[in-house]
Amino acid sequence: MKFDLTNYLRPRLLALSPYQSAREEFTANGREMILLDANENPFATKLNRYPDPLQLELKEQIAAWKGVSIDQLYLSNGSDEFISNIIMGCCEPDRDQIVIVPPTFGMYKVSATTHGVGVVEVPLTDSFQLDVPAILARADASTQLIFIPTPNNPTANNFDLEAIRELVERFPGVVVIDEAYVEFSSNPSVIPWLETYPNLVVCQTFSKAQGMAGARLGMAFAHPDFIAFFNRIKAPYNINSLTIRAALEKLKAQDQVREQVKLLLEERSRLEEAFAHIPFIEKCFPSDANFVLIRVDDSTLRYQQLIDKGIVVRNPSKNLNCENTLRITVGLPEENTQLIEALLSLSKTL
Ligand X SMILES: Cc1ncc(COP(=O)(O)O)c(C=O)c1O
Q: Which of 149, 167, 238, 290 binds ligand X (CB under 6 A)?
A: 149
Strand partners, 17: none
Q: Which of 78, 102, 103, 316 binds ligand X (CB under 6 A)?
A: 78
Instruction: For the CB of residue 212, give the shortest distance to ligand X in the complex, in Å.
Output: 9
Instruction: For the CB of residue 186, give the shortest distance to ligand X in the complex, in Å.
Output: 17
Residues 203-232 contacting ligand X, CB under 6 A: 205, 207, 213, 218
CB nearest ligand X: which residue? 78
- Tell me, by CB under 6 A, how many residues bind ligand X: 12
Residue pair 326/293 in contact by the 8 Å Cβ criterion = yes
* Choice between 199 and 207, CB closer to ligand X: 207
Give Cα separations from 65 to 14, 36, 188, 223, 284 (angstroms). 30, 35, 14, 18, 34
> What angle is formed at CA 259 by the lines to CA 153 and CA 164, rounded to 5 degrees?
35
Instruction: For the CB of residue 213, give the shortest distance to ligand X in the complex, in Å.
Output: 6
The answer to whether 178 contacts ligand X (rule: CB under 6 A) is yes
> What angle is formed at CA 290 by the lines to CA 285 and CA 292, rounded to 5 degrees?
25
Q: Which stretch binds ligand X (CB under 6 A): 24-32, 74-82, 110-118, 183-191?
A: 74-82
Q: Which of 8, 105, 221, 229 binds ligand X (CB under 6 A)?
A: 105
CA distance 289 to 224: 30
* Choice between 202 and 274, CB closer to ligand X: 202
Residues 106-145 contacting ligand X, CB under 6 A: none
Strand partners, 74: 220
Which long-range contacts does 274-277 make (Cβ < 8 Å, 24+ apart)?
A: 274/340, 274/343, 275/343, 277/344
Q: Which stretch binds ligand X (CB under 6 A): 77-85, 109-117, 246-254, 323-331?
A: 77-85
Maximal CA-CA distance, the chain: 72
* Exposed/middle/buried for residue 200 (C-beta within 10 Å: 0-12, 13-18, 19+): buried
Instruction: For the CB of residue 79, give the shortest distance to ligand X in the complex, in Å.
Output: 4
Phi and psi at residue 265, in whole multiples of 5°?
-70, -35
Binding site for ligand X (CB under 6 A): 78-80, 105, 149, 153, 178, 180, 205, 207, 213, 218
